[in-house]
Structure 1
Amino acid sequence: MRHIIAVIDTDIRFALKLSDFLSKEDRIPFKAVAYTSFHMYSNETSSMEIVAFITDLDNVDECISTGLPVILLSDDAMVKSKYTNSSKLFCSIFKFCGVHIIVDELLGFFSQNDSFGLNSTCKNTKVYGVYSPINRCGRSSLSVAFHSYFCSESNSSLLISFDEYDSVFAVLRKENSRDLSDVFYCYKTGDLNFAKLGECISRVEDLNILLPARYNEDLFYLSDNELTKFMNDILMANLFEIIVIDFGSIGRRSMQILDMCEKIFCPIMGESGSVESTKINEFKSLLGRNGYSEIIHKLHEIKLPKDDISTDIFNFTKLKRHDYFIQISKIAEGL
């Protein structure tokens, strides 16, 4: 059965526009369906599993009677006293604020509600890694390029960076930006759900990016086993169709996560026989010695064109014109 947020509003144009936006919002792993009344909803939900209601005042009583979480869209930014503090499953949002504010309010509401956890039993998410034992090889740019391609093909995709530094992501860092440090803390304390994960994701263009940890030592906040379990839990939640991992320096440390990847792309800058190639061969030998020889077959070295994409990395209109991105697109098309 499909998991659905029911948007009920007598103004069907508003309901349709809001449900369409929510269905495309990757931070909310449910589809949204519009209805003009609770009666219409009741007659059309046999093949759907409703997880929450977003409704106007005309239909709120019927929605509350179901016992499911209800978000009231208030016309005047005020809620009638009869609904105030009625339940932890109820909140109110001003109907005519921006849609991004509505999404943030929904995430905040869901994060306080135990019924919205990382508890899906499906495992359809595909994972692609970008790793190299060589520093300053363009690894992060390559991960953004792959992520950009997947998003451009309307795939629900998340980029997770385990880098020790912000590198290309520095331009996205704001004073109040949340990142991998926040996610690890919530996970360690048992307080991570999809809403809190969504609050920690930075968005630019159509990209969803989990920024690197603020401090290098935060990468070790989770033990190796906890880090592996963290990734498995993210995959089991099935929130995204594709996850791209910028491995940073944890590739040698977390071979179990490397093993989760369908493919692992290694950017190559030098020629064969170079020091770079030697280090990659040494890494392959390390995989064999540690019992992960099957990962070697997932490694794909990519010799990238000398095309500077740094200034256009987060501008898809310009990025797709680069030979660099055209090459990555052709590789991704065959995945």
Structure 2
Amino acid sequence: MKKQIFAVCDLEAEYACNFMDYLNQKKNIPFEIQAFTSVESLVAYVKKNPVELLLISSEAMCREVGELDIGKIVILTEGSKPKELEKYTGVYKYQASSDVVREVMACYGAEKAILPAQLPVLKKTTEILGVYSPLGGCLQTCFALTLAQILGREKSVLYLNLEEYAGFEELMQKKFLHTLSDLLYFVKQGSTGIAVKMNGMAESMGNVDFIPPVQSPEDIRGTSWQDWEHLLQEIILHSSYETIVLDIGNGIEEVFQMLDMCTTVYTPIKTDKMSRSKLAQFEELLSVRDYPQILSRMVKLNLPYGQEVLAEPFRAEQLIWGTLGDFVRELLGKDEV
């Protein structure tokens, strides 16, 4: 099935072309991208091709464009919108391209129930990689982020941190407008178009997209397994991500069922007596609960500790250049960066 069309029209040719290049580099954009630098070329194209989403500068927007059959029009502004364009949603032009895309997708997701183009036929099957350890203090999140970054060089990757205390706002020194808590709210309400709404919340981190983690542990503990399963199925069926990396904490209800959805479970370990005893109890419980398949998918990892983990300010991309990055590339059989 052909992707729906996301058109960008800006009379400033350099901006339109650069923005189109950015969109084409994003592996998870579920649209075919078309850029235009004149109203005439846009109008001629739309008359022959259905356009689902149009991002157009306020200078280019006119009555003729408004009368076209376009699914959703978003105005690219340089500040305030002209009065005649008040009925349209606007996003600020001179901000990071990733922020423009996130705001546009949020506007689109607020009105659209589901994106028809987001079907499994548009991508290969989605693999879910779990990172989980019953132990603490074993570099689990550092490994998960490094794994996601290295995989993200070749495919579209979504990283989801499912811990009760992820600390991402403190780690990145940034306040997030939307978090996983908001996405879980829509899931629990039975909202449609979950994947489209997610596109409006996704942040970029190097080669990877992520949904900012919850700020309250109750949002993890209070989510039923059925809701987690529904969220993951929505992402698998209606997003363009080829790989989901789950950084799984112990607050998840029915964590074994979560692990059972993973094609591989990477389990960071430690070698001291206490840690070996805890891991043995975990493995015994998997057997008692009749989850031998999880045991067969587990890859135990004694992770190296590199100085890049301590670097300030934190940048997830730098993890791939250090000791942990070398370890993950060897694990995956990847070439050197």
TM-score band (shorter)? 0.7 to 0.9
3-state secondary structure, aligned to 1:69: strand
**What are the superposed Cα offsets for residues 233-285 of structure 1, whole Å, 9 maximum, x if unpaired?**
222122322211111114672322212212110112216xx332333333233
Deviation, 1:132, is 0.9
* CA distance in 2 between partners of 1:190 and 1:19 (Å): 34
Percent of pairs with identical residues: 20
C-alpha distance 53-135 of structure 1, shift in aligned 2 (>3 A): same
* CA distance in 2 between partners of 1:228 and 1:244 (Å): 15
> What is the TM-score normalised by the length of structure 2?
0.80
Task: Kindly indicate whether the alpha-carbon contact (under 8 Å) linking 1:159 and 1:244 is maintained by their aligned counterparts in 2.
Answer: yes
Aligned to 1:326: 326
* CA distance in 2 between partners of 1:236 and 1:40 (Å): 34
Aligned to 1:187: 187
* CA distance in 2 between partners of 1:269 and 1:303 (Å): 6
Task: Kindly indicate whether the alpha-carbon contact (under 8 Å) linking 2:51 and 2:70 is maintained by their aligned counterparts in 1.
Answer: no
Q: 1:254-333 counterparts in 2 under 5 A? A: 254-270=255-271, 274-312=273-311, 314-315=314-315, 318-333=318-333
C-alpha distance 102-140 of structure 1, shift in aligned 2 (>3 A): closer
C-alpha distance 218-252 of structure 1, shift in aligned 2 (>3 A): closer
Task: Kindly indicate whether the alpha-carbon contact (under 8 Å) linking 1:120 and 1:237 is maintained by their aligned counterparts in 2.
Answer: yes
Task: Kindly indicate whether the alpha-carbon contact (under 8 Å) linking 2:225 and 2:253 is maintained by their aligned counterparts in 1.
Answer: no
Q: CA RMSD in A?
A: 3.3
Deviation, 1:106, is 0.9
Aligned to 1:99: 97
Task: Kindly indicate whether the alpha-carbon contact (under 8 Å) linking 1:159 and 1:245 is maintained by their aligned counterparts in 2.
Answer: yes
C-alpha distance 100-300 of structure 1, shift in aligned 2 (>3 A): closer
C-alpha distance 174-14 of structure 1, shift in aligned 2 (>3 A): closer
**What are the superposed Cα offsets for residues 166-189 of structure 1, whole Å, 9 maximum, x if unpaired?**
257741364455322222122212
Deviation, 1:80, is 5.7
Amino acid aligned to 2:181: S
Aligned to 2:14: 13
C-alpha distance 73-215 of structure 1, shift in aligned 2 (>3 A): closer
**What are the superposed Cα offsets for residues 53-108 of structure 1, whole Å, 9 maximum, x if unpaired?**
22353676246421421223457843362x543xxxx4344555653553343133
* CA distance in 1 between partners of 2:116 and 2:233 (Å): 11
3-state secondary structure, aligned to 2:133: coil
C-alpha distance 101-300 of structure 1, shift in aligned 2 (>3 A): closer
Uncovered stretches (5+) of structure 1, i.e. residues with no partner: none
* CA distance in 2 between partners of 1:316 and 1:94 (Å): 27
Deviation, 1:197, is 2.2
Task: Kindly indicate whether the alpha-carbon contact (under 8 Å) linking 1:35 and 1:41 is maintained by their aligned counterparts in 2.
Answer: no
> What is the TM-score normalised by the length of structure 1?
0.81
3-state secondary structure, aligned to 1:68: strand
Task: Kindly indicate whether the alpha-carbon contact (under 8 Å) linking 1:64 and 1:70 is maintained by their aligned counterparts in 2.
Answer: no
Q: Judge which range, 133-142 or 35-44, deviates more.
A: 35-44
* CA distance in 1 between partners of 2:96 and 2:257 (Å): 42
Deviation, 1:301, is 0.6
Amino acid aligned to 1:3: Q
